[in-house]
Structure 1
Amino acid sequence: MIEIHERTSCRSVALGTAAKLVARPALRWFPVNGPIAPLRHALDIGARIAPRHRGTRVEKVTGDGWIGELVTPRDAQPGTAGLVYFHGGAFVFCGLATHRRIVEHLALRTGVPVLSVAYRQHDKALVDQSIADGVDATNWMIRRGFDASSMVLAGDSAGGHLAFAVAIEATAQGISLGGVVGLSPWLEFDNTERRNHVNARRDHYIPARRLDAITRLVTGKPILDPAASPVNRDLAGLPPALIICAADEILRYDAELMTERLQRAGVPVTLHIWNGQVHAFPVLGDLLPESSEAIDRVAGFVRDTVGGRRLRAVDDLAV
Structure 2
Amino acid sequence: MAVSPAAGILRVLKGGGSLPLTPRRPAVEPARVGEAVPAFLVTTPASRPDLTLLFFHGGGFTGGSTAGHLDLCARLADAAGAGVFSVDYRLAPEHPFPAAVADCLAAYRYLLAEGHSPAGIVPVGISAGGTLVISMLLAARDAGVAMPAAAVSLSPAVDMLFLGESVLFNQETDWLTPNHLVGILKDYIAGHDPTDPLASPLYADLQGLPPMLVQAGGGEILIDGIAAFVSAAALQGVSVTFDCAEGMFHCWQAFAAVLPEGAAAVERVGAFVRRWVAEE
Q: CA deviation at 1:265?
A: 0.7
Confirm or deny that 1:229 pairs with 2:200.
yes
Q: Distance in 2 between matches of 1:196 and 1:288?
A: 24
Partner residue in 2 for 1:110: 80
Q: Distance in 2 between matches of 1:67 and 1:197?
A: 37
Change (3 A) 1:299 1:196: closer
Number of corresponding residues: 275
Higher helix share: 1
TM-score by length of 1: 0.79
Larger relative contact order (Cα-Cα within 8 Å, sequence gap ≥ 6): 1
Which string of whole-angstrom CA distances, capped at 9 and with x for unpartnered residues, describes residues 33-73 of structure 1?
xxxxxxxxxx9xxx9x97652xx422101123211111122
Which string of whole-angstrom CA distances, capped at 9 and with x for unpartnered residues, describes residues 279-317 of structure 1?
1111123321111100011000100011259xxxxxxxx
The one of 13, 33, 37 equivalent to 2:7 is 13
Partner residue in 2 for 1:88: 58
Change (3 A) 1:10 1:235: same
The one of 239, 244, 265 equivalent to 1:294 is 265
Which string of whole-angstrom CA distances, capped at 9 and with x for unpartnered residues, describes residues 218-262 of structure 1?
122165344331111110010011111111111112220110111
Confirm or deny that 1:122 pairs with 2:116.
no
TM-score by length of 2: 0.90
Partner residue in 1 for 2:154: 183
The one of 115, 124, 132 equivalent to 1:154 is 124
Q: Distance in 1 between matches of 2:226 and 2:211?
A: 15
Q: How does 1:161-240 map to 2 (within 5 A)?
A: 161-174=131-144, 175-194=146-165, 197-199=168-170, 201-221=171-191, 224-227=194-197, 228-240=199-211
Q: Distance in 1 between matches of 2:267 and 2:65?
A: 23
Q: Distance in 2 between matches of 1:75 and 1:192?
A: 41
Partner residue in 2 for 1:244: 215
Q: Distance in 1 between matches of 2:180 and 2:48?
A: 45
* 3-state secondary structure, aligned to 1:113: strand
* 3-state secondary structure, aligned to 1:85: strand
The percent of aligned pairs where both chains have the same amino acid is 27
Partner residue in 2 for 1:278: 249
Give the residue type in structure 1 aligned to 2:228: L
Partner residue in 1 for 2:278: 307
Ranges in structure 2 where 5+ consecutive residues have no aligned partner: none
**RMSD (CA atoms):** 2.4
Partner residue in 1 for 2:67: 97
* 3-state secondary structure, aligned to 1:127: coil
Check conservation: 2:89, 2:100, Cα contact below 8 A: yes
Partner residue in 2 for 1:316: none
Partner residue in 2 for 1:73: 44
- Please identify runs of 4+ aligned residues in structure 1 that moved more than 6 A: none
Q: How does 1:253-272 map to 2 (within 5 A)?
A: 253-272=224-243
Partner residue in 2 for 1:62: 32
Q: Distance in 1 between matches of 2:190 and 2:101?
A: 14
Change (3 A) 1:215 1:119: same
Ranges in structure 1 where 5+ consecutive residues have no aligned partner: 1-8, 27-42, 310-319
